[in-house]
Structure 1
Amino acid sequence: MYGLLFESIQHFIQLDYGEEAWQQILEHAGIKNMVFTTHKIYRDQIMLDLAASASHVVQDKTSEEYLGYFGTCFVDFCASYGYDKILRTAGRNYRDFLIGIDNLHETIRFSYPKLKSPSFIVESEDANGCTLIYRSVRQGYTSYVAGQLSHCAKKFYNVDVKVTLKENVVKNNRTNATFRLEFDNKGYDHVKKAAICPEYRTVLGATFLKLFPFCILFDEKFVIQHVGESLANLIGNVTKTKLEDHFSLRRPLFDFTWENILSLQKVIFELEAVNKFELPQNKSSSSKKSSHSKKLLLKGQMKLLKEWKMVAFLCTPLITNLEDMQKMGLYINDLNMFDNSREMVLKGWHNASQLEHRVDQQVAASKKIEENLKQQEQWRRKGDLLLYSMMPITIAKRLKNGEDPINTCETFDCVTIMFCYFVGFDEMCGRASPLQVVEFINNVFIVFDDVVDRHKAFKVETLGDAIYMVAGGVPDRQPGHTERLANLSLEFVEKASAFKDPLSGTNLQARIGMHIGSIAAGLVGRKTSQYCLFGDTVNTASRMQSYGEAGKIHISEPCKEYLQDKGFIIKYRGYLEVKGKGLQTTYWLEGREDEEELHNKLIQTDLRKYTRKPPR
């Protein structure tokens, strides 16, 4: 399937749904960063995958409805390539257009030589429409075809058509479908009126064969009766033999029967030689006979000659350049003078190399674009990671979607704040070199950052005097944030003790304080914006840290009330005069209870809850 079809889909998806939706569709279809090129061949399955992915991403149509939409996209997109002129002049009315669809495919075959076009035949018609047979080597595209048929009628002939799929059978890996097209069939009345032709004398067979040097006359039993002079020179004496012994039907995609031939007299046929013919060569040839490397392909029209009770296949060899002629054993003089055979061969020879070069350039350019898009995607990920390290992911995504930073400012009723300070860090800075200090604190923060990610908390900031601030429940309002920060704090104390002072060798000790309450939060600053937290809760958590002790976790009373009966070991510290806060009741968070102890405690709690005292 040529890239032109996929380019039409890309163009209108981007136009109707936006670039972001198109990228999501590509990613869901498993072809992220795919760049389609007009003359490149792609897998047929890709279009079906795009339809399913579009339905999944946009969620406004089914996959079959999207295939119909893709069909209309292709019709509109072809207009930008100039094919609308061909479609508008294909017939006087929509009926003529339907009869000649196969011929339209043949018209564009020279631009797209590997085209695997379907075949159409108007099986029957009446004043209210027609029955159309559709044959294709592809499966699953009936909705796509229906979209094209209805849109062509409206766009080029101003006719409203109702397309109904009556039958769809897959046989020998080919689609055999029957459509009923309901429309005002104005052209049907003109067909019923037979044209009045004057009487002429019967043309002699010899004259007929001279007029059409490439022709085959065969009877109802498909026995070859006569062959044109040029074709006879090419394939030898094949009269009185069966047509199917020498040729197979390549197009249209219908059974090669007498009835189908009579009903398809306005459709272009292609017959391909079954075997390679061995012909005498010119005198300069070193061998007397040679088997040509390319099979003969004949293209033309089937016409019934009633007086002779035969069908004449009026054809010409399908040749695109001089190289094809040599492979088939043909010469310029063999070709017809009354059609464009000679001109097409010579022009094809002249333009083929330029066209091939341009196609190669286009394919190379598309590959380069794909590589650039992949590289761009890698840098985008790196940029996202850098951005997410500066602010919460949810806030960063809101900014990427164009939201004003001021809208990120909001209040939170319940947030857990934790401050961690490394005891003795100031003294270490006075003794160690700057490089030693930076290397040491960097190693500690890398470990702590890992812990924060695992507990799904938010690292607010790190200050120069080795203070590490973490928050839970902001900016994402999630339940259980106090428990997660309690577990995180316990792990901080454990992880910190594994680090040693680079000079003294003593173990590092963390001093931690926790508090819960309400805050305000939002992005601050235009340059190097930072997501900051404000409020008395932040100050109280900081005081819990500064009034704590090395290697311990100091928590406020609200924290204790929230964590009790949650499996944590909490000990009463006492009353403490806190600067700016007055007398405060505080506690130590010392660890977690083991599973058995926690289980027994929960049982005792339940017993106290449901056991009543007996009446006196």
Structure 2
Amino acid sequence: MEAILRLFGEYFFKFCKMSGYDRMLRTLGGNLMEFIENLDALHSYLALSYQEMNAPSFRVEREADGRMLLHYYSDRRGLCHIVPGIIEAVAKDFFDIDVTMDILSMNKEEERTGKKEHVVFLVVQKSHSQMGRAKPNRLKGNQDIQRDQEALEAAFLRMKEKYLSVSVCPVKKSHWEVVRSIVMFGKGHLVNTFVPVYPERLWIEQKTFCNAFPFHIVFDESLRVKQAGVNIQKYVPGLQNQKIRLDEYFSIIHPQVTFDIFSICKFINSQFVLKVRRERMPEAWKSQPALKLRGQMIWMESARCMIYLCSPKLRSLRELEAHRMHLSDIAPHDTTRDLILLNQQRLAEIELSNQLERKKEELRVLSQHLAIEKKKTETLLYAMLPEHVANQLKEGKKVAAGEFKTCTILFSDVVTFTNICAACQPIQIVTMLNSMYSKFDRLTSVHEVYKVETIGDAYMVVGGVPVPIGSHAQRVANFALGMRISAKEVMNPVTGEPIQIRVGIHTGPVLAGVVGDKMPRYCLFGDTVNTASRMESHGLPNKVHLSPTAYRALENEGFEIVERGEIEVKGKGKMTTYFLIRNLHASEDEIMGRPHSRLDRKGEQKREAASQCQIFFPLTISDVFSGALGHVGSAWVIPLHDFLWVEAPKDQSNQDEHLHPG
């Protein structure tokens, strides 16, 4: 598990680089120690954007011989082995050095009150040049290798003892000690040997210093305040009394350590965040947010005091206004000014992005609603006009009239409809017609005929228009039979008995087209329409009246038709007409488009098994009604959902491709 976590640490560092943090990480420090010391500052910066982030903390102790102690604090136990993978990858990639890390101690955190785990790593690093010189010595004898291991273990023990006796605060070193430690720790370049020059005395007045650094506090080892900047006195009035203790007015937010000089010195390289205690503020100020300060602690050995150079921890202009502060309260050289303005711009961009996301989501929802409403509109339009005609009208095109050489038209009406209207309330008439027309409309889908229009109690249907099809007469005939069956389910509101309808059918040529700009309708024109209407008006109750041409179209197509005889037709003279009785090859359920149960189908098979073979081939309803069964002879039909199973005579058993188990 330790090896896996170490490898994860290496991968996590590479992931951060690929995610765009490469430049930010490279600028944290000029060497490995500076890099680690500034990790907490990086986490504090990221916490401005990710407020729920709970990052680990690091503290480094430098040793003169090139080694260092890395203190790791975290709330998540068991993840400390990720740290060596990250640090070793950083050292190799950024500083071209190899680092070895060993755990010196691992125990429950005692120094920090907010973390659960405290691990101390011993970090030893070598440059590549040193490793190159060591390569020829790889072929040492076993005794030399053992001697080196013993020396390393001894050095490790000495380092552990040195760690246990480490001083609280940094001690002053000579110039040569500083130079030697930096050269041994860094890459050895001359740029790392820089030694600053300090003046013999400080050339700045106390008043000027307090104005130049308006947010600073100086306190001694007992936390007694010695001096404070002018603006921090303004917003924390109690600091004007130099006898107070710093922990009486502030609490430490980060790092989460006890408020004493010992803990502060241990984490002196960390960024400190202090929060003003609300109970110490004037009564009028207690309603506003508590002021937070962010900065660094610097130990002054000669004065045995600590200076806290800080700035208000503010992220936006809103927070600045909430504390009743102004940008002028912050020193011009303080980057907090720029941070507030830049972060305000970033927050504005985030808010704009969120608004765009919300608008995008609203547009997506509206688009879905628009698509639903468009579908409803198209459904309504297709119910009024043929689909290809409706599409042409939507595109703004003119729909040319079309001539159809042959089609079959049906008219129907309710017998004694005028008397029914006179004896009933209008709502009863509407209810009756709605029930009847709903049943008829369903049948148009079953038999694939086109409903032209309804006027009062008159219902007009055509087959073969607007899409020409050879079986138009059979489709309309089956539809008429279905109308007659459906009419028995609609009650006369006067008598309470089923209503009676007259149906007339005629076959012939028509001209079809769209007429009108407002509420356009797809209409049929020609003498065929008049003749079909005459067949309906001269018909009898509950009879399907056929013209001579309709009879010829249905002859030998599996329908039972009887001759009515010669009658006088208005405007047509004498005509020999016929009555359609039934479909010889389709049951009532098939005519009505009702699904057959499996038991019913088996019963019919048993009744016919004695006289016919058990060979089946599938045909669609349209094939049956278009005359596909004309050659079958005495074949009979069994429905199965969308198919009709037709039992063929024995002489058709050679059609192997249609075999299906009964």
Q: Which bin holds the TM-score, normalised by the shorter protein?
A: 0.3 to 0.5
TM-score, with length taken from structure 2 = 0.44
TM-score, with length taken from structure 1 = 0.47
Task: State the structure with more CA Rg.
Answer: 2
